[in-house]
Amino acid sequence: MALREPGCEHPGFSFFIANDCDLSTRMGYNHRVMARLKEEGMVERKDQHSDVSGEPEIGREPRAEIEALREEHRALLRELRRLDRSLARLSVKQAEAALVIPVLESLHAFLADHVHPHMRRERETLHPLVKKSGLSRKRDIRAILAGDDGLEKECRQLRRALQRLRREKDERETVRQVIAIGEGIIEGIIEHVHREEEVLFPRLEEALVPPRSSRG
């Protein structure tokens, strides 16, 4: 069960990960993931199954990197779905702008503080693994990776929508349109995460991580 650590909450929303509040601290996070995978027998220890050159067996680091990204995905999806439910309730109730603005501000902060660092980390770690695997030649894989590039544009779109909502807070149609923009951004990110989980990660693991039966 996730525990809410002191100082881990961002103003405007509650976002936390069990024993790890900062998604941007990659090194310590991946080390913890690696240790847990070793305990569960999912990754061989360094003193076992090295090749004749003394290099660690291929697949150890890719497995840890992918598992770390999966854990981040789970945390991101929890908060995105919470924000999406909040926007849906406000839409159904035809809420006033004063109630909508804080939720959209929370979404904007979440994109900037958590989703954007996660996607930057994917470019630094996941993209090289995809290139190494040879999957970067596949059109569907390239399309999935390209999904990371639209986040900054969406952040700007949401910021402009918030500015418009503050100016036109008494316009019911403006409130409806801005809620729809927020919902669309959330939907796009969730779809992108699912495509990574269901298509990219399994194919990457198949290409980079040797099956257990091949390990001596």
Phi, psi of 169 (to 5 degrees): -65, -15
Residue 29 has pLDDT above 70, yes or no: no
- pLDDT at residue number 64: 87
Domains and CATH numbers, the chain: 27-46+57-210 (1.20.120.520)
- Going by C-beta distance under 8 Å and a sequence separation of 6 or more, which residues neighbour residue 5? 16, 19, 21
Cβ count within 10 A of residue 31: 12
pTM here?
Answer: 0.69
Which two structure tokens, joined as six digits, stand for 64?
A: 């840890």
Mark 186-209 as b/e (b = at least 16 C-beta within 10 Å): beebbebbebbbeebbebbbeebb
Three-state SS for 176-189 is HHHHHHHHHHHHHH
Task: For 45-63, write each residue's pLDDT tens digit.
Answer: 433 333 333 333 334 478 8
User: What is the dihedral angle through the alpha carbons of 19, 105, 113, 146, rounded to the nearest 10 degrees?
Assistant: 120
Which stretch, 78-87, 144-153, 205-214, has highest mean pLDDT?
78-87
- pLDDT at residue number 169: 84
- pLDDT at residue number 108: 94
Query: If pLDDT is split at 50, 70 and 90, which confidence band does 115 have?
Result: very high
- Residue 42 CA to residue 27 CA, distance in Å, equals 19
Task: For 123-163, write each residue's pLDDT tens digit.
Answer: 998 899 999 899 989 999 999 988 777 777 888 889 999 99
For residue 13, the SS3 value is strand
Q: Helix 26-39 and helix 60-92: axis angle, to 10°?
A: 110
- pLDDT at residue number 74: 96
Query: Is the distance from CB of 115 to CB of 141 less than 8 angstroms?
Result: no
- Residue 130 CA to residue 201 CA, distance in Å, equals 10
User: What is the dihedral angle through the alpha carbons of 4, 6, 8, 9, rounded to the nearest 10 degrees?
Assistant: 80
Mean pLDDT for all residues in the chain: 76
